[in-house]
Amino acid sequence: MPEKTRVTVNGYGVIGKRVADAVRAQPDMELVGVSDVISDYRIQTAVTLGIPVYASTPSAAVSMRESGLPVAGELHDLLDRTDVVVDCTPAKVGAENLAHYRDHGVKAILQGGERHDVTGHSFVAHANYATALGRDATRVVSCNTTATVRTLTALKAAGLLAKARGVLLRRATDPWESDHSGIMNTIVPEGSIPSHQGPDAQSVDPDLDVVTMAAKGSHTQNHMHFWTVELSRPSTRDEVLEALMAMPRIARVRRADGVVALNSTVELMRDLGRPRGDMYEVAVWEDILTVQGNELFYTYTVDNQAIVIPENIDAIRALAGTVADAAESIRRTDESLGVRRDFLSAPERAAAGR
């Protein structure tokens, strides 16, 4: 049996703790530790879960120990026993950390809050796994960009995409935040058009003709994207759905099943027993999607806390070079996380002629 890839997660926040869970679910990986600078319940739960906790800085080591946390050491100790570090620190911090990782000869995955040119490579598994193979660093793009790339490259792969114009309604802050980050009873548009997500999608696939407008809504869970797509030729709803379903990590939902809003999908994930209620898939509304001649209109929802988790797992394999084939890595990841194409039982639906 081959050795497991040793993974460290630096930054045990919204993304970091989910990556840690997902790494622990991979037979070919080992979570050697997580590292952070905080001392409160967010890191205490890692202790409760039995995860070795390290301090990202010397001063954090002091404050964390003073708080009673059983600190296993400092990040640099951990890096000496690490093959790949997944950096989930706040935006811009990852860029500063990269040199440090390189000093230790550790491969590094940064997140979408960093600029593309920090690593020179931006990652979405099915789109460009191959070009990440063996690199020493990549950047898993943001939740909005990941979702954008998934559906647009699905259309592109089917030869259907001419150009795409999207409106992205983002959640305002994360569900756990309780101060100084929310908006209330309003919508706040991005200050300029195009918003950064369109160009960011092009950092993964430069051929995409995509322009995005974005805004923040007064809710804390999930983004919602609305797309107006010019197709390369007149098509049909069935053909488009087939194209989307040919791409991993896109799942269908239906208003006819009572899934009528962002919070329906959140409840659905909890009903299905997903850890933390996470949804790794882009959930496209099958019965809202509409084709008119060569125009396609569709909408989907994105769990901003979870959608990049499978991408991070694949990125670990790509950098480590342990799996050469994108499809094989994606298959392993999705099986371990229970990723689905339809959240509700297909046999009965089929029997009912749907």
Residues forming the active site: 143
Which is closer to its own copies, CB of 98 or CB of 160?
160
Using the rule CB under 8 A, give the single segment among 44-52, 78-86, 147-155, 313-321 that binds its own copies. Answer: 44-52
**Residue 273: burial class (beta carbons within 10 Å; 0-12, 13-18, 19+):** exposed
Q: How far is CA 183 from CA 170, 223, 246, in A?
A: 12, 15, 38
Q: What is the 3-state secondary structure (H, E, C) of 235-260?
A: CCHHHHHHHHHCCCCEEEECHHHCCC
Helix-helix angle 143-157:125-132, to 10 degrees: 100
- What the block records as the tokens of 178 is 């309780």
Counting contacts by CB under 8 A, is residue 224 touching its own copies?
yes
Residues in 54-93 at the binding interface with its own copies, rule: CB under 8 A: 66-70
266 binds its own copies (CB under 8 A): yes
Give least dist CB 342 to its own copies, A: 10
Kindly state the greatest CA–CA separation across the chain. 66
User: Does 238 participate in binding its own copies (rule CB under 8 A)?
Assistant: no
Binding segment for its own copies among 82-90, 136-144, 275-283, 314-322 (CB under 8 A)? 275-283
- Choosing from 260, 294, 321, 341, the residue that interacts with its own copies (CB under 8 A) is 260
Amino acid symbol at 234: P
Per CB under 8 A, 289 contacts its own copies: yes
Report the nearest approach of its own copies to the CB of residue 75 (Å). Answer: 20
Q: Does 1 bind its own copies (CB under 8 A)?
A: no
Q: Which of 285, 307, 312, 320 binds its own copies (CB under 8 A)?
A: 285
Which region holds residue 295: left if phi is over 0, alpha if psi is between -120 and 50, else beta?
beta
Question: What is the closest distance, in whole angstroms, from the C-beta atom of residue 119 to its own copies in the complex?
Answer: 29
Q: Which of 62, 91, 130, 193 binds its own copies (CB under 8 A)?
A: 193
Contact with its own copies (CB under 8 A) among 91, 130, 272, 327: 272
96-125 residues in contact with its own copies (CB under 8 A) are: none
Please tell me the distance from the alpha carbon of residue 15 to that of residue 87, in angstroms, as a whole number: 9
Q: Which residue has the tokens 């322009």?
A: 211
Check: CB of residue 18 under 8 Å from CB of residue 278.
Answer: yes
Return the residues of window 2-21 that contact its own copies according to CB under 8 A: 17
